[in-house]
Chain A
Amino acid sequence: MNNLIRLTEHGPELIRDDGWSLALTEGETVAGPRILSLDGWLQCQPAAVLGGLVPSADAVCLQPDDEAERLQPYLAVLPLIAVLFPSFRDGRGYSQAYLLRTRIGWTGELRAVGDVLRDQLSHMRQCGFDAFAVREDKSVEDAIKGLSGMSVLYGRSAIEPRPLFRRRTSEC
């Protein structure tokens, strides 16, 4: 993926030569490390990986119908989890990400893939994504401007677990 933004401790970084490739349909061959569908991943992993003994060489991509909870047993062996937005208007990926971060316990890279656009990046970041594979026809330098979003969050999120009413300092 050559249109990637990744959050690091130094802030967001642009990555032009990320090695991962999506291979969501059965039998699809790609160069380099693969991100497979959940069912595809489960089918092709050796027993040692599924048993949690050996890290997997392949990553998983959750699609909107997938239950994020199914990844629970494999967190220790997964190198990366991607969440697919087939359309930026399909909001299921936000809940999947939120659950992965706050309930399932995923701490590795959580990457938004698919119809990933500037005006949704801040919401994705709030829900726990830390990598964003911006749609190929869009400028990643432009998209990065969408990361910061607004300074006020009334509710809570994966990266700000306390709602504003527990953070408010004003006396007004």
Chain B
Amino acid sequence: MYHYDEYDRALVAERVAQFRDQVSRRLSGELSEEEFLPLRLQNGLYLQRHAYMLRVAIPYGTLSADQLRTLASVARDFDRGYGHFTTRQNIQFNWIELEQVGDILARLAAVDMHAIQTSGNCVRNISTDAFAGVAADELLDPRPLAEILRQWSTVNPEFLYLPRKFKIALCSASEDRAAVMMHDIGLYLYRDGAGEMLFDVMVGGGLGRTPILSQPIRKALPWQHLLSYVEAVLRVYNRHGRRDNKYKARIKILVKALGIEAFAREVEAEWEHIKNGPAELTREEYERVAASFQPSEYPLQPAVDLAFGSALARDAEFARWVQRNTLAHKQPGYVSVTLSTKPGADMPPGDVTAEQMEQVALMAERFGFGEIRVAHEQNLVLPDVAKADLYALWQQACAFGLATPNIGLLTDVIACPGGDYCSLANAKSIPVAQAIQQRFADPELLQDLGEISLNISGCMNACGHHHIGNIGILGVDKNGSEWYQLTIGGAQGKQSALGKVIGPAFSAEDVPEVIAQLAEVYREQRQGTERFVDTVARIGLAPFKARVYPAQEVRA
């Protein structure tokens, strides 16, 4: 992972001092809440229903074991013993005292971490594939360019007060595991025939109350122009994006209003001025950053591992977990392991206790190179596990509630914190997620249903990405009570699609049974190995609607 130098450390240390000063001026009344608001947001601090929430940046979802231990210590010493991993590969702490934020940030700075720009109308954490650098289907490692982009967008003075938040994601594998098409800027990175790195640039994606998938704006951009091209997009957006209505301020609305061709012309005209200037990346800089991401020395593994093979044959539970929770690795004899943070009723999706974090840090050291990834599905990934170690790892993960064999299955629910914490929410997310997980607790049924993504957002701001879930659940408020609107057919990745609403909303208690009925329709209608989302695409919404709504309600 990236190693800080004295510049990186100085910036983070100065930022802690600066924010301590801002907090003390707020506490003394020198700063009004209105003046303080954007300052605290740009340091990751939200005011929620019960307390402040601090969102800590985990750049492109990569953590060291020591960093994870520090997060555990923050959870233990400043929160209620747990943290919540987010769909932007960050972590948030929900029970924070304003007076203690300076101390928390100082503790994070000691391990090269910060909370800069995890909120606010600025460029947010750069995200990428949780399996970057190790996945077998990767074209090249996106992390050096993600880090270069992270640095360039950090406290970039011109772009700290954009019309609205701005999210950038990169992907450079055959499968898009970074949800690139729902980002303000999405970057697909690959090599040309001569081995040079190129980008296909997408722009104008975003969820929220007007969900839009991004559109291609430029093909085959040479990597040296990454920063200048992103700068051109940001400058056009900063100058022309709407500021009169918060819900129409994302770049997707500007792109839609101008049309992609006209927007692209504006960007190209701006880019002409800057593309061959000092922002052009140098090979030296690329290599300086890439040096931090050199592959580790992988001890050679035997071609055939009899102990592993016999454990698979002997222990069906283990075999199920290996099948569901591991991903093919570049290196023979290794896999990447996903530790599920979705055990069901015991813990809300994405919540991890301090003790679990410390255990994961130990596992990362014992079964890998001391590195952990956060997936945007809110799970934790150990990227480099020898197959020979899987059985021992699995036993340890089981002991700490991190081995639920449900990655990619219906109970691997993505959910925002919802009305239990968030003051924006219309409805709770967590109890609904847990009720669904309980309804599908039978592992045989779950396996049989195969890959289904289920996403829950407590309001139309869509932090749970409900639009791109195969099944999406949106909390809505009807006359002061909480209801849930269902969509089906959404998908992330290169085949991204927005789900379609199936009909009137349901009460919380009806949701699990309605999901079960949708699953039944799929089981009856599927052909061969067709996934849920493929069946929806083939047969449309009607058979699903017919099952979950009595006839008269469908007409209404």
Q: Is the CB of B7 within 8 A of A164?
A: yes
Per-position binary interface string of chain A over residues 114-138, scored 1 when its CB falls under 8 Å from any chain B CB and 0 otherwise: 0001011011101100000000000
In the assembled complex, the Cα of A34 lies from the Cα of B206 at a distance in Å of 44
Q: Is the CB of A154 within 8 A of B155?
A: yes
Which residues of chain B from 140 to 154 have any CB-CB distance to chain A below 8 Å in the complex?
A: 148, 151-154
Q: Is the CB of A94 within 8 A of B161?
A: yes
Q: Assuming the A-B contacts A152-B11, A154-B154, A166-B282, are A95 and B239 also in contact, with contact meaning beta carbons closer than 8 angstroms in the complex?
A: yes
| B282 cross-chain contacts in A, Cβ below 8 A | 165-166
In the assembled complex, the Cα of A165 lies from the Cα of B289 at a distance in Å of 10
| B243 cross-chain contacts in A, Cβ below 8 A | 64, 90, 92
* Distance (whole angstroms) from the CB of A97 to the closest CB of chain B: 8
Q: Assuming the A-B contacts A88-B35, A94-B238, A150-B11, are A172 and B5 also in contact, with contact meaning beta carbons closer than 8 angstroms in the complex?
A: yes
| A120 cross-chain contacts in B, Cβ below 8 A | 161
- Which of B14-22, B408-416, B461-469, B541-549 contacts its partner? B14-22
* Distance (whole angstroms) from the CB of B23 to the closest CB of chain A: 12
Q: Is the CB of B285 within 8 A of A165?
A: yes
New contact pairs (15) apart from A117-B35, A168-B288, CB-CB < 8 Å:
A89-B38, A91-B121, A91-B158, A92-B238, A94-B157, A119-B35, A150-B10, A151-B11, A152-B10, A155-B279, A157-B158, A161-B278, A162-B278, A163-B278, A163-B279
A48 at the interface (CB under 8 A from B): no
* Distance (whole angstroms) from the CB of A79 to the closest CB of chain B: 25
Interface centre among B152, B157, B161, B238 (most CB of A within 10 A): B157
Q: Is the CB of A164 within 8 A of B238?
A: no
B555 at the interface (CB under 8 A from A): no
In the assembled complex, the Cα of A134 lies from the Cα of B231 at a distance in Å of 29
In the assembled complex, the Cα of A123 lies from the Cα of B14 at a distance in Å of 15
Q: Is the CB of A123 within 8 A of B6?
A: no
Per-position binary interface string of chain B over residues 226-261, scored 1 when its CB falls under 8 Å from any chain A CB and 0 otherwise: 010000000100110001000000000000000000
Q: Is the CB of A168 within 8 A of B238?
A: no
B-side residues, CB < 8 A to A, are 3, 5-8, 10-11, 14-15, 18, 22, 30-31, 35, 38-39, 121, 148, 151-163, 227, 235, 238-239, 243, 273, 277-279, 281-282, 284-285, 288
Q: Is the CB of A127 within 8 A of B235?
A: no
Q: Is the CB of A163 within 8 A of B227?
A: yes
The 8 Å CB contact of A172, one of B6, B152, B155, B285, is B6
| A90 cross-chain contacts in B, Cβ below 8 A | 161, 243
Q: Is the CB of A94 within 8 A of B35?
A: no
Q: Is the CB of B158 within 8 A of A98?
A: yes
A156 at the interface (CB under 8 A from B): yes
| A152 cross-chain contacts in B, Cβ below 8 A | 7-8, 10-11, 14
| A150 cross-chain contacts in B, Cβ below 8 A | 10-11, 14-15, 18, 155
Q: Is the CB of A89 within 8 A of B227?
A: no
In the assembled complex, the Cα of A161 lies from the Cα of B18 at a distance in Å of 24
Give 12 pairs: A residue, B residue, CB < 8 Å, sorted on A: A89-B38, A89-B161, A98-B235, A152-B7, A152-B14, A153-B157, A154-B151, A163-B227, A164-B151, A166-B282, A172-B3, A172-B6
